[in-house]
Structure 1
Amino acid sequence: MAMIEISALLLVLLAVLLAGGVWIAISLMACGWVAMQFVAGGIPAGSVLATTIWGNSASWTLAALPLFIWMGEILYRTRLSEEMFRGLAPWLNWLPGRLMHVNVLACGIFGSVSGSSAATCATVAKIALPELKRRGYNEKLALGSLAGAGTLGILIPPSITMVVYAVAANVSIIQVFLAGFLPGLLVMALYSGYIAVWHLLHPEQAPPAEPKMSLREKLRESANLIPCMLLIALVFLSLLLGWATATECAAWGVLGSFGIAWWSGSLTKEAFWASVMGTTRITCMIMLILAGASFMSTSMAYTGIPAALAAWVDSLHLSPYALIAALTVMYILLGAALDGISMIVLTTAIVIPMIKAAGFDLVWFGIFLVLIVEMAEVSPPVGFNLFVLQTMSGKDSNTVALAALPFFFLLVAAVAIITVFPQIVMVLPELAFPK
């Protein structure tokens, strides 16, 4: 069968399985198993399944995921969620959308220390969703903003995805990190702008405004945020100054969250075990999906579909901007079946020479690629943030996907902006490393 026919078959099979209510991880593994049947040479699918799942699961880096989730679970069971919103409400009351902007701000802050889209989305959603629902905010917009803002975990440095790209493309990791700051702020501004416009167009769906406060009252309310901000500062500085790895920082975060829970008087036996069980459920869900995605990614690599798609784009001999548009479409299609790191690893060898020939800077292309991976995180059927929010909110996949759709298009707009104005990406790396 031709590559196009195999790709169409796999996508249809995945859609049918998901529509039939089959577990996401099992659906991905089933598609990977079918893909292996088209591989020449009789490579045993069972052996690939076992080695791939073990190799991708036995990762020290992934140990940060359950730790950051546990940190969020502990903080969720303290009074921090209420105190966070109490502290931020007076300062955001003048903005259309008010506390809905907390999703974007919190994901931006937490993403700067977690480096993981799933961990950022899960942790902030655990705290924000119940509080926003209790205060009467639109649940669909809350889900969509969390799905979109959760992707900031891989855009705002440090980011595992950026490290993978820098190694694959043989460029400076520090330069790629520096290049991600301003695009991260750009995406946050786009998200907050959309939230503000949405509330201006739908004023009847906004909850009543919080009572006005004096500056002294605002500062007094914000004092409740001090423990949380100190914890974030500790985790961030430990990572930034090289005192600890991401996993070690996550462990310090758990320890600090226990300290906050003890200080607030909410560290009880019941709360402790509830946080453990909540972390176990979410981690098992995420790890099982990662296992299925890793097997499907490996199977796709064996079929040669990603490399063939990249080679086909190369054969078109497009102009620079047309090439970027074609690569955007290509990666969005790949994102329907592959996780972000697999997309980078499987296509870099072919795409990088094309980018060099077109005259684009490889550091700039790294941020472009991260933004495309962010799109994959919020686009069905394999949008990982959608899976996380689907599990945490209890909503069906279609509801979460439709809620995230506007934020997907905002990421498309961000790609267009950095393509037209590449200095948004390059100004910080060029200042730090003048040529």
Structure 2
Amino acid sequence: MSMAFLSVLLLVLLFVLLGAGLWVAFALLGVGLAAMALFSNAPLGLVLATTLWGHSNSWALAALPLFIWMGEILFRSRLSEDMFEGLAPWMNRLPGRLLHVNIFACGIFAAVSGSSAATAATIGKLSIPELARRGYPERMVIGTLAGSATLGLLIPPSIILIVYGVATEQSIARLFVAGILPGLMLMALFAGYVVIWALLNRASLPLADPGIGLRERLRRARRLLPVLALIAGVIGSIYAGIASPTDAAAVGVVLALLLSWASGTLTRQSFVGGLMGATVTSCMIAFILAGASFLTVAMGFTGIPRLLAEWIGSLGLSTFTLLAALTAFFVVMGCFLDGISVVVLTASVIMPMVLHAGIDPLWFGIFLVIVVEMSQITPPVGFNLFVLQSLTGRDILTVARAALPFFFLMIAAIVLITLFPAIVTYLPDQM
């Protein structure tokens, strides 16, 4: 049976199972079982049990529920209010003024959340009504929030980088550090776009708020200190080599609980709610990873990844052509699946191809996350679009149109890291 027919058959089976409404984890397990039963003589039950246990019993994976819990705790705290009050006085002099608060607040919350949807919901709940009350254009408010919230996937600690690291056996600490400069670059691109837009559309912006003195701005900026200390504690300990990502995640949870307690938002209800939210999300992701790990092993038995890599190699595609094709492929996949599912679904097939082409898997992880970020603001299954639709009451196409310029800015970011890979690799190489 030809490789092409076998690949198409398994792909059709996967989409049939997903289209039938089956959970992603069950769909992955089903395809893996079918592949092994039909196209190999391996002991099915033994491989299934060994794979599920081996990939679930992972110390690196322990960081996942802890970082999710940290984000859930801060989601229920006064963090977004403190960030708005601390950032707003410093944005008044920039072209675009308080639109920049969305960008920088999302960047800061992304560094303590790790979730794109949580970043959009947390910052959006405060900034959307506040900026609407002040008369800022709704389209730019939605667009800056939709684009900037995707930073939750890239700026460490990133949940999806943990998933990628576990699925591809890459160092999670190096992936975290690799995401810092690209994340800052994206923030600069977003802020630059807002500046240019504001200079071209001065009449669309409300009058600037009355200026306040330096002393008052510094006083308000003190509200940012706790969250900046939390970021420094988590990311700094990893970068300095003091703690592993799992150790740093445990420290982050403790600091988040202390921050929530100090702000008066830590109650029995918020504690239990955060713990249950983290449990549900962690179980979902871990279950998907277990299914994906079995599919990866099953693909190894069928030989599809190796044959596909050889076939791609025989086409003689340049690295740039291959990356362009993969970008289009991942964006299309992201139109129908969430980012974590995209990563775990494709890792087993894509990684041999990537390694065969001589692409650094660490660099490719950041490339993949940026592309998945793009899919978060593309209909019909862009999670950030759903969050903002619920916050604004606008239809999904209106929200998607507002986010479109930021989609193209992410394409620009991909071009930049492709032309200048040191943007990704410089900091990890210093560790």
What value does the CA root-mean-square deviation take over the aligned residues?
Answer: 4.6
Matches within 5 A, 1:229-248: 229-248=228-247
2:384 & 2:364 partners in 1: Cα distance? 24
Larger mean CA deviation between 222-231 and 5-14 belongs to 5-14
1:166 & 1:104 partners in 2: Cα distance? 28
Establish whether residue 224 from structure 1 lines up as the match of residue 223 from structure 2: yes
1:426 & 1:351 partners in 2: Cα distance? 17
2:184 & 2:128 partners in 1: Cα distance? 26
Q: What are the superposed Cα offsets for residues 2-28 of structure 1, whole Å, 9 maximum, x if unpaired?
A: 433444444445445545544333344
Q: What are the superposed Cα offsets for residues 385-405 of structure 1, whole Å, 9 maximum, x if unpaired?
A: 95698699879xx95995877
Establish whether residue 374 from structure 1 lines up as the match of residue 370 from structure 2: yes
CA contact 1:371–1:411 (8 Å) conserved in 2: no
Deviation at 1:313, TM superposition (A): 1.8
Q: What are the superposed Cα offsets for residues 161-219 of structure 1, whole Å, 9 maximum, x if unpaired?
A: 89779977xxx999988766544433332344456667788999989866543322222
2:108 alignment partner in structure 1? 106
2:59 & 2:127 partners in 1: Cα distance? 34
1:329 maps to a residue whose letter is A
Q: Which runs of 5+ in 1 are unaligned?
A: 112-118, 356-361
2:116 alignment partner in structure 1? 121
2:301 & 2:407 partners in 1: Cα distance? 30
2:26 maps to a residue whose letter is I
CA contact 1:154–1:160 (8 Å) conserved in 2: no
Matches within 5 A, 1:46-195: 47-93=46-92, 94-96=94-96, 97-102=99-104, 104-106=106-108, 109-110=111-112, 119-121=114-116, 124-125=119-120, 127-135=122-130, 136=132, 141=143, 144-145=146-147, 148-153=150-155, 181-194=180-193
2:135 alignment partner in structure 1? none
Deviation at 1:221, TM superposition (A): 1.6
The change in CA–CA distance for 1:64 and 1:176 in structure 2 (over 3 A counts) is closer
- If the length of structure 2 is used for normalisation, what is the TM-score? 0.73
Q: What SS is found at the alignment partner of 1:185?
A: helix
Number of matched residues? Answer: 407
2:306 & 2:167 partners in 1: Cα distance? 17
2:286 alignment partner in structure 1? 287
1:267 alignment partner in structure 2? 266
Deviation at 1:37, TM superposition (A): 4.6
The change in CA–CA distance for 1:238 and 1:372 in structure 2 (over 3 A counts) is closer
Q: What SS is found at the alignment partner of 1:216?
A: helix
Q: Which runs of 5+ in 2 are unaligned?
A: 133-137
2:319 to 296, 300, 323: 323
1:325 maps to a residue whose letter is T
CA contact 1:60–1:247 (8 Å) conserved in 2: yes
Deviation at 1:315, TM superposition (A): 0.7
Larger mean CA deviation between 65-74 and 331-340 belongs to 331-340
2:225 & 2:167 partners in 1: Cα distance? 36
1:238 & 1:32 partners in 2: Cα distance? 39
2:108 maps to a residue whose letter is A
CA contact 1:379–1:405 (8 Å) conserved in 2: no
2:190 & 2:28 partners in 1: Cα distance? 31
Larger mean CA deviation between 224-233 and 34-43 belongs to 34-43
- If the length of structure 1 is used for normalisation, what is the TM-score? 0.73
